[in-house]
């Protein structure tokens, strides 16, 4: 199973740093949020509709590999779907320097997104189109250091 | 192995809600951050010193169980150490209604904290006092729905 | 014209601090937001309805008087209406230590709130009840250092 | 007195929106913060040093002109110094659509920045270089609707 991750550059904000002078661990999830919105919109075409009306985060997992300090260069978030089921899918992420900036990897993460019918207020099934598209893009799960797969 | 989790009430902010009108998934980690600062300070006595000078987050894992809307009542974060090693420990959390408000459980989470020597800028060992205290308080790992232990 | 300001205690979060190790200047506005939500709800009874369905911020002004560092004690926000017109009102704020903590004044601020009809998506008039209640509570404008009144 | 404002594009984040589905009024100050950091660094050359070691915000004033919704296009912040004194200066800002996106003006704002000697922990004078550079760039104060000049 091969894949080409979607790469989304996300601008840092000075306020992402906390009192230690590093990008705060919680803010990494904010960076993932914006990368995810861009990537899912690109993948599913109907992305705006889907994001506004039908995906909720049911799980996050993240490990931190290096400290990140505010700079004007963005971070690059590589993002790809992994496991796709009838009603949910996992996303893998790697937060790194853009190639023109460096080679540092800052974090790896994984989220589970659940398809949701906002009007009916209950989980829904992914459409055949959504599932096919995600499976087409799917790659290996992210390799966390701490957890054997 | 039994334990009494530390319970820390954390006030919500109206701004914790996102455009969906629910407390945003990332903001849950902010609530955990404040609960953790209180709990670790209480446990280790020397907490302020430790938090400012010597613990870094190396991993988070969180699963969301119910939507939370801003209200004036705080959420209660039950928090306890689980695995304690020579240089790190895990914390388990449950985010729930305070008993006087209700019985809803909103999220379960787990963080790994690594002892760090900020001056030398490298991992350090937990002191004998820190380790003994944490082991004394340690309980079972949080039971995530999605992952067998 | 005398008044008794409404006092609302707002809990700080560790993340309110920025890389300088002080509560960030922008975060003061967050503290005012939560104090305002509590105060307006208390004043207007129908506060939840009003806040959700009918007030928008059209202006803020704030001056900073002293640096604030995260601590477990909340800050106290004294808040009172000043100028009340047919369709808007001003709020004055002072951010200070609770009496049991100290006597430091950290900031003074003023906001203009405009009554808004969210369904019609246009400004509305304050109701006679809203106006009478606010005028009853109204006090002197906040005395900014930099601007003569 | 003429001037060419410095234009800084600042990316929005989805989380800048609040429960009303618009960019929250407080978040506008975050956008100004990032524009200010870029502009001052560009103007004063030694900007990084200055920002990290020597300017504090003593006042903000902002008025909101139109609602802003998250989109992938950034906002453009036009920013220029106005009043320059021995130890402080004012900045004017206008938050608008980039020319290629539209013509909407969203907010006008003004901040006072005070030169600060972080080591001595007290206000300092602007250097001759800083003052000359800022005066060279200075333009008219921002024209707030609500306050005659």
Share of chain D above pLDDT 70, in %: 90
B34-70 pLDDT, tens digit per residue, is: 999 999 988 887 544 554 458 899 999 999 999 999 9
Q: Residue B11: which of C11, C30, C33 has the nearest Cβ?
A: C11
In this prediction, residue C11 has a pLDDT band, given cuts at 50, 70 and 90, of: very high
**pLDDT at C51 > cutoff 60:** no
Query: Per the CB < 8 Å rule, is B59 touching A112?
Result: no
Query: What's the confidence (pLDDT) of residue B53?
Result: 53
Residue labelled with tokens 């800022």: D134
Query: What's the confidence (pLDDT) of residue B49?
Result: 54
State both tokens at B145: 């729905």
DSSP C23-61: B-HHHHHHHHHHHHHHHHHHHHSTHHHHHHHSEEEEEEE
Q: Residue D15: which of A14, A33, A38 has the nearest Cβ?
A: A33
Query: What's the confidence (pLDDT) of residue C3?
Result: 60
What integer is the mean pLDDT of A70-88? 96
**pLDDT at B74 > cutoff 80:** yes
Most confident of B22-31, B48-57, C112-121, D33-42: B22-31
Query: Per the CB < 8 Å rule, is A26 touching B25?
Result: no
Alpha-carbon Rg for chain B, nearest whole angstrom, is: 16
Substitution target from C53, C54, C56, C60 for chain D, most D beta carbons within 10 A: C60
The CA distance from A33 to A31, in Å, is: 5
Domains of chain A, each with CATH number or no CATH: 6-137 (3.10.129.10)
Query: Per the CB < 8 Å rule, is D26 touching B15?
Result: yes
Nearest-neighbour CA in chain A from C103: distance (Å): 25
> Is the ipTM, as predicted for this complex, more than 0.85?
yes
A87-136 pLDDT, tens digit per residue, is: 999 999 999 999 999 999 999 999 999 998 877 878 899 989 889 999 99
Which of residues 70 through 109 in chain C touch D, CB cutoff 8 A?
Answer: none
What integer is the mean pLDDT of C92-105? 97
CB < 8 Å to B60, chain A = 25, 60-62
Query: What's the confidence (pLDDT) of residue D129?
Result: 87
Query: Per the CB < 8 Å rule, is D33 touching A11?
Result: no
Phi, psi dihedral angles at A137 (to 5 degrees)? -95, -10
CB < 8 Å to D64, chain C = 56-59
- Of the candidate ranges A35-44, B112-121, B125-134, the one whose mean pLDDT is the lowest: B112-121
The whole-chain average pLDDT of chain D stands at 90
The answer to whether the CB of C96 falls within 8 A of the CB of C108 is no
The whole-chain average pLDDT of chain A stands at 89
**Number of CB atoms found within 10 A of residue D51's CB:** 17
CB < 8 Å to D17, chain B = 18-19
Query: What's the confidence (pLDDT) of residue C49?
Result: 54
Q: Angle, to 10 degrees, between the axis of helix B25-44 and the axis of helix A25-44?
A: 160
The CA distance from A57 to B29, in Å, is: 13
State both tokens at A70: 């505010």
The dihedral through the CA atoms of D106, D112, D114, D115 has a sign that is positive
**pLDDT at C64 > cutoff 60:** yes
**pLDDT at A73 > cutoff 90:** yes
Q: Residue A15: which of D11, D30, D38 has the nearest Cβ?
A: D30
CB < 8 Å to D21, chain B = 19
Q: Tell me if chain D has a CB within 8 Å of the CB of B11.
A: no
State both tokens at D44: 């004063």
Query: What's the confidence (pLDDT) of residue D66?
Result: 95
Query: What's the confidence (pLDDT) of residue A129?
Result: 87
Q: Tell me if chain A has a CB within 8 Å of the CB of C26.
A: yes
What integer is the mean pLDDT of C32-55? 77
State both tokens at B5: 């989790």
- Alpha carbon distances (Å) from B71 to B12, C9, C68, C100: 7, 15, 26, 26
- Alpha carbon distances (Å) from B82 to A29, B79, B116: 24, 10, 19
Substitution target from A16, A18, A19, A20 for chain C, most C beta carbons within 10 A: A19
Alpha-carbon Rg for chain D, nearest whole angstrom, is: 16
Q: Tell me if chain A has a CB within 8 Å of the CB of C29.
A: no
Query: What's the confidence (pLDDT) of residue A3?
Result: 60
Which chain A residue shows the shortest CA-CA distance from C21?
Answer: A19
The answer to whether the CB of D129 falls within 8 A of the CB of C42 is no
A7-28 pLDDT, tens digit per residue, is: 999 999 999 999 999 999 999 9
In this prediction, residue B3 has a pLDDT band, given cuts at 50, 70 and 90, of: low
State both tokens at D35: 């524009």
What integer is the mean pLDDT of D5-33? 96
Q: Tell me if chain C has a CB within 8 Å of the CB of D61.
A: yes
The whole-chain average pLDDT of chain C stands at 89
CB < 8 Å to A38, chain D = 72
Nearest-neighbour CA in chain A from C31: distance (Å): 16
The CA distance from A41 to B147, in Å, is: 29
Query: Per the CB < 8 Å rule, is D19 touching B24?
Result: no
Nearest-neighbour CA in chain C from A66: distance (Å): 18
What integer is the mean pLDDT of D52-64? 88
Alpha-carbon Rg for chain A, nearest whole angstrom, is: 16
Q: Tell me if chain C has a CB within 8 Å of the CB of D68.
A: no
Widest Cα–Cα separation across chain A: 47
Nearest-neighbour CA in chain A from D14: distance (Å): 6
**pLDDT at B134 > cutoff 80:** yes
- In three-state form (DSSP H/G/I as H, E/B as E, the rest C), the secondary structure along D114-134 is EEEECCCCEECCCCHHHHHHH
The answer to whether the CB of C79 falls within 8 A of the CB of C39 is yes
Q: Name the neighbours of B, counting chains with at least 3 Cβ pairs within 8 A.
A: A, C, D
Q: Where are the beta strands (DSSP E) in chain D?
A: 6-10, 55-64, 75-84, 88-96, 105-117, 122-123
Query: Per the CB < 8 Å rule, is D26 touching B19?
Result: no
């Amino acid at each position: 199973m091969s894949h080409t991750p979607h790469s989304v550059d996300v601008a840092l904000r000075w306020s992402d740093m906390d009192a230690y002078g590093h990008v705060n661990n919680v803010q990494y999830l904010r960076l993932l949020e914006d990368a995810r919105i861009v990537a899912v919109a690109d993948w599913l075409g109907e992305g705006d509709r889907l994001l506004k009306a039908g995906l909720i985060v049911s799980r996050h997992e993240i490990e931190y590999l290096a400290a990140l300090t505010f700079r004007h260069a963005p971070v690059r978030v590589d993002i790809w779907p992994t496991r796709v089921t009838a009603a949910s899918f996992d996303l893998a992420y790697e937060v790194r320097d853009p190639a023109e900036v460096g080679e540092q990897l800052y974090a790896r993460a994984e989220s589970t997104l659940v398809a949701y019918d906002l009007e009916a207020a209950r989980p829904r099934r992914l459409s055949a189109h959504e599932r096919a598209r995600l499976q087409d893009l799917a790659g290996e799960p992210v390799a966390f250091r701490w957890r054997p797969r």
